[in-house]
Amino acid sequence: MNANREIFPLVYAVVESENADSWSYFFARVMRDVVGSHRSVCIISDRHAGIESAFRALPELRLPQVSKRYCLRHIRSNFMTKFRNAELKKLCWQAGSTPTKQEFHECMEQIRGINESAFLYLNETLVEMWALNYDDGKRYGILMTNLSESINNVLKGCRTLPITALVKATFDKVVQLFTDQRNAGIMWHQARFLYPQNIWKDVLERSERRYHTTIVPHNRTMGIYSVAIGSHDPVTIDLTRQECGCEYWKQKWMPCVHAYAICRFLKITVDGLIPAVYLLNEYIWTYASDIMPINNYLNVMAETSHTLLPPTNNRSARVGRPQRTRFPNEMDLRATRRGHE
Across all residues in the chain, what is the average pLDDT? 87
- Whether 3 shows a pLDDT value over 90: the answer reads yes
Task: Give the residue-averaged pLDDT of 100-121.
Answer: 96
When computed from its CA atoms, the radius of gyration of the chain, rounded to whole angstroms, is 24
Report pLDDT for 261: 93
Report pLDDT for 338: 55
Of 124-128, 139-143, 312-316, which range is least confident? 312-316
Report pLDDT for 318: 63
Give CA separation, 13 vs 52, 53, 167, in Å: 18, 18, 9
Q: Where are the alpha helices (DSSP H) in 72-228?
A: 72-82, 86-97, 101-114, 116-123, 127-130, 149-154, 163-190, 197-208
Report pLDDT for 329: 54
- Whether 109 shows a pLDDT value over 50: the answer reads yes
- Whether 324 shows a pLDDT value over 60: the answer reads no
- Going across the sheet that includes 243-244, the strands are 213-219, 224-229, 235-238, 243-244
Give CA separation, 159 vs 10, 13, 50, 169, 220, in Å: 18, 11, 20, 9, 58
Confidence of residue 193 (pLDDT cuts 50, 70, 90): very high
Task: Give the residue-averaged pLDDT of 313-322.
Answer: 63
Task: Give the residue-averaged pLDDT of 44-63.
Answer: 92
- Whether 212 shows a pLDDT value over 90: the answer reads no
Q: Is the CB of residue 4 less than 8 Å from the CB of residue 197? A: yes
Each residue's pLDDT tens digit, 254-305? 999 999 999 999 999 999 999 999 999 999 999 998 888 877 666 666 666 7
Report pLDDT for 76: 96
Eight-state DSSP code of residue 201: H
- Whether 127 shows a pLDDT value over 80: the answer reads yes
Report pLDDT for 339: 53
Confidence of residue 308 (pLDDT cuts 50, 70, 90): confident
Q: Is the CB of residue 262 less than 8 Å from the CB of residue 220? A: no
Report pLDDT for 299: 66
- Whether 106 shows a pLDDT value over 50: the answer reads yes
Task: Give the residue-averaged pLDDT of 225-242.
Answer: 92
Task: Give the residue-averaged pLDDT of 184-204.
Answer: 94
